[in-house]
Amino acid sequence: AHSSIGRAEIFRSLLTPAAVADQAAAFDHAAEQLALTLDLPVERLVWVEAPITATLTDSGDSAAAVDVWTVSILGAPDAGSPQQVWRTVHVDLEHLDGRWLVASATADAGPTPAANELALQSGWDEFDVVAGWDPIVVGVGL
């Protein structure tokens, strides 16, 4: 669960001041599109995203860029089987006041592995249990 106020606070802690408005707007747009696609309010959505691999694509004393391949699992009660989304996130970083902050972030779909044809899809209840476990890579909740 999240609110626009709580989300803005988190963004301000992770992003450069110049990036907050654009990244918040991009997140809001993505969340709205997701809600339309899944036909449910975004507030009901459980979204777990984890990095799989990452590579430094550019670096300097005060700026860097990294590409991160991630998988997201999305679900909600009474919305059928959870869905997976694979994407590559491109992150530009700036070193400000002794901290590395995100200056911009964009994402491209994939690469997406083929689904295992022998695997049975899980329902919401199974996903809800494992989504509540402690993450291997601790992030920031929105």
67 pLDDT higher than 60: yes
CB of 104 closer than 8 Å to CB of 113: no
pTM listed for this prediction:
0.84
For residue 118, give the DSSP letter: T
Task: For residues 38-67, give the mean pLDDT.
Answer: 91
For residue 3, give every residue at least 6 positions away whose Cβ sits within 8 Å of its Cβ, in sequence order, or none.
Answer: none
State the pLDDT at residue 69.
97
- The string of pLDDT tens digits covering residues 101-117 is 999 999 999 999 998 88
Residues 2 and 41: their CA atoms lie apart, in Å, by 12
CA dihedral 93, 95, 96, 100 (to 10 degrees): 60
State the pLDDT at residue 85.
92
CB of 41 closer than 8 Å to CB of 49: no
142 pLDDT higher than 60: no
CB of 66 closer than 8 Å to CB of 57: yes
Q: How many CB atoms lie within 10 A of CB 79?
A: 16
Q: Could you give the percent of the chain with pLDDT greater than 70?
A: 94
Task: For residues 26-30, give the mean pLDDT.
Answer: 87
Q: Rounded mean pLDDT of the chain?
A: 89
State the pLDDT at residue 51.
93
How is residue 52 written in tokens? 């799989």
Phi, psi dihedral angles at 62 (to 5 degrees) = -125, 5
97 pLDDT higher than 80: yes
